[in-house]
Structure 1
Amino acid sequence: MSEPSADLLTPVVDDDGAPFWEYAARGELRVQSCADCGELRFPPRPCCPYCHSFSCDWRLMNGKGVLWSYVVPHPPLLPAYAAQAPYNAVIVELADAPRIRLVGNVVASADAALDSVDRGRLRIGAKVQVTFGRLPDGTTVPRWLLERP
């Protein structure tokens, strides 16, 4: 397995999404929710699309989900990812918030390389559990572990 490159993409943190990344750094998967109507929303934004309130909370999720979709880029889309190819890019639907889907990677452990899981083990509907890995710049990002290794 390959070592991660310092040139990998890192999240762009804006005012609305900053709490998501702060919670991730603490090992918590939280999703923005409306403080008035309770609806969850992702990606984070200033106004609730359901009731138009500007009040929000951050609800703790259980970290479980299912693979909703995935792709294995051939060749890698960016040169910094070439050393880890082939790797997966996944969309995970959260078990306790089925309308919420997060993008990430299935890995063998929190800080494992993106190519650490054989792509033949990936299946739509596979159960996953969140883990948190650190990028070379120190940013903590959600990643996903297969529940049945």
Structure 2
Amino acid sequence: MTEKKRSDHGAAPEKPRADIPTVEDATAPYWDAAGQGRLLIAKCGACEKVHHYPRPFCPFCWSEDVTAVEASGRGTLYTYSTVYVNDLHPFKSRLPYVAALVELEEGPRVMTNIEGCEPEDLEVGMAVEVAFRSLTDELEATVFRPAAEVAQ
């Protein structure tokens, strides 16, 4: 029978928090850019298509010639759902919240949350723009909000 190893201090190894994304080598540039207020998507050097979520290969042609490029941060609300019941941490403290799919100007669709407005003010097809919400001192979540009116 094997025993679980403990640190020199006798404490069990720290488990990652379930409410915080795991930052891996392939996704670190995405999270670093979010911390700087920039949204990155990936572009394939072989087929020239863009995609999102960050990964080390192209989902269209499977090439590994993928680089991160900055997105405009503008998009359209493709679909959404207002969540009124969720007993899981940290979502319970955010109720109600809007889970959404945003189609970026560049083409990819992004799973996200819509913030900065009342759920009843949302409309499929409305213009949205990227925003960021702090998860920790070092980590920002990409969210979207209704686009600001363009001054004319």
TM-score between the two structures when normalised by the length of structure 1? 0.77
Task: Give unmatched runs, 5+ long, in structure 2.
Answer: 1-16
* Structure of greater relative contact order (alpha carbons < 8 Å, 6+ residues apart): 1
Deviates more, 1:67-76 or 1:39-48: 39-48
SS of the counterpart of 1:105?
A: strand
**49, 54, 57: which is aligned to 1:47?**
57
Q: What is aligned with 2:125?
A: 125
Task: Give unmatched runs, 5+ long, in structure 1.
Answer: 1-6, 109-116
Q: How does 1:79-118 map to 2 (within 5 A)?
A: 79-95=89-105, 97-98=106-107, 100-108=108-116, 117-118=117-118
TM-score between the two structures when normalised by the length of structure 2? 0.76
Q: Alpha-carbon deviation of 1:148? A: 5.3
Q: What is aligned with 1:61?
A: 71
Count of aligned positions: 133
Which of structure 1's runs of 4+ aligned residues deviate more than 4 A? none
* Alignment RMSD (CA, Å): 2.1
Counterpart-to-counterpart distance in 2, 1:93 and 1:25: 22
Counterpart-to-counterpart distance in 2, 1:144 and 1:126: 12
